[in-house]
Amino acid sequence: MPNKHRTEDKPTEVTLPITPMLDMAFQILFFFIATFNPVAASEGQMDLSLPAKSDAAAPDPNKISPRAESHKTDIDIPTDVTISLRGIQVPKFAGEVSSITITTNRPPEILKGADKEERKAELRKQLKQLKASRPKEDDAKKRPPNARVEAETNIRWSEVVKIMDICYEEGFQVSFSKPLPKGAGQ
């Protein structure tokens, strides 16, 4: 039996105000556009010295053999210095650099230092000396000095990047050579 004294309320209609939400969305969009810094977006870019384009190993893309070598001849990029990284062969320290060898027009020289920070400081010093002793070129032919980095296959990439960073900070352009055979380090 329905209650005679109680009147039924009409259902209220719920309205969602869209205008304030759109205002907030456009304010957030404007904030991100206004604060975007394209210089910081290039943080992961590296300027590498790569070989010139060569002929394809397979003239037809359908006849590519995954086991075929990409180049029949090695492409040699002129370099001012070669930096060789040898790894520690003890499994506990696998991936760490045991020695850094620097080769210029003189015989190879193993950088001195009891730990990796001392070796990196010595590498920085050697690169500064090498850049200062470089013959002056006329502006038309001026090219940055080139450092070739070669490392054993078991060295961590983060260690190679640290060496590349030192080269970049000293004004050298970095190129790579084939990995060194594993196990030649200490």
Confirm whether 112 is domain-assigned.
yes
Confirm whether 31 is domain-assigned.
no
Confirm whether 111 is domain-assigned.
yes
CATH code for position 123: 3.30.420.270
Confirm whether 167 is domain-assigned.
yes
Average pLDDT, the chain: 77
Confirm whether 20 is domain-assigned.
no
Percentage with pLDDT > 90 across the chain: 9
pLDDT tens for residues 112-136? 777 778 888 888 888 888 888 877 7
Total count of residues recorded for the chain: 186
Provide the 8-state DSSP code for 78: -
Count the domains in the chain. Answer: 1
Confirm whether 43 is domain-assigned.
no
Pairing of strands 146-151, 97-103: unpaired
**Averaged pLDDT, 55-78:** 65
Q: Which domain holds residue 125?
A: 77-176
Q: What is the pLDDT of residue 57?
A: 58
Confirm whether 183 is domain-assigned.
no
